[in-house]
Amino acid sequence: MGKKVSKIGVLTSGGDSPGMNAAIRAVVRTGLYYGLEMYGIMRGYQGMIEDDICKMESRSVANIIQRGGTILKTARCKEFFEYEGRKKAYDNLILRGIDGLVIIGGDGSFRGAVKFSEEFDIPCIGLAGTIDKDISGTDFTIGFDTAVNTAVEAIDKVRDTMDAHDRIFIIEVMGRDAGYIALHSGIATGAENILIPERKTNMDDVIASLLEKERRKKLVNLIVVAEGDDFGGANKVQSVLKEKLPNAEIRVCILGHIQRGGAPSSLDRLTASRMGYHAIECLLQGRYNVFVGIMNNKMHYMPLGDAVKNKGKISDEWLRIVKILAS
């Protein structure tokens, strides 16, 4: 049990993700409902250091639930890595009387929150705002569903030109350290091969599968690659395939940052709203340094430090599904 809070700051940190605004809205309005003073911290930890902090009312978060990005902006702050930077941030919070924080971000943001809370005794609640879904303790992260839907829509359109020209297409999606977007979008679009960071890529197996399909006159093939795949991404995969399959037409499409933008899906809006509400409930109940997630459609709480240490893991069942459905 932690100390009682009365003034809460909310920030978004690291990479933006669709649904962050819905989470901000839920945090602010829940806090106001319970009579707390709510503050928005601009540009994440950078705004804490520079005292770029503003008081928020109900109207501050009106008409934002459907917007992508984050009204609080976001940044990656190197100064916060150092004790002097964190001390400056703490002094700014104390001047305003802010005695609790809600951090919407990824594992890097949570590592900063854990360190900050240990040093300065500020209660922190973490909400997973990342399209990568690479944090344990929750079935979904804010933004993941939208990012997958964006990738699926783009891949479906690419499939039309694949079919028209009998081509092999290599689609690169986001996922520097985690392959969930590649896995989910690949299964949803019927990809023949899905390459992810969690599994070592064997190009001999990929080539063998494409040659086998060529023998069956299956000339249209889709390969979905996470950007962090150990082989080196879509362009590297294309160069190897061109050498081994000289007669095949092979094209690359890198989806890039379109996966981070756009209006959040209904699932992301609901997930963000639910998590934001429970973040305030945690602080009111005296919970200290808690990560708020949803597992099996129930709220799930774990120490913020554990959320940082434990990465989400892709099960062998998913990979078996890919292999069977693509045959």
Residue 138: C-alpha distances to residues 141, 206, 283 (Å):
7, 32, 19
Place of tokens 């503003």: 54
DSSP class per residue in 82-142: SHHHHHHHHHHHHHHT--EEEEEE-HHHHHHHHHHHHHH---EEEEEB-TT---TT-S--B
- The gap between the terminal CA atoms of the chain, to the nearest Å, is 53
Residues 6+ apart with CB under 8 A from 43: 50, 52, 72, 73, 74, 75, 77
Q: Which of 16, 99, 107, 132 is catalytic?
A: 132
Strand partners, 223: 170, 193
Strand order in the sheet with 221-226: 193-195, 221-226, 168-173, 250-254
Q: Which amino acid is at 290?
A: V
- Residue 132 appears among annotated catalytic residues: yes
Query: 272 in helix, strand or coil?
Result: helix
Q: Note whether 166 and 219 are within 8 A (CB).
A: yes
Active site residue ranges: 132
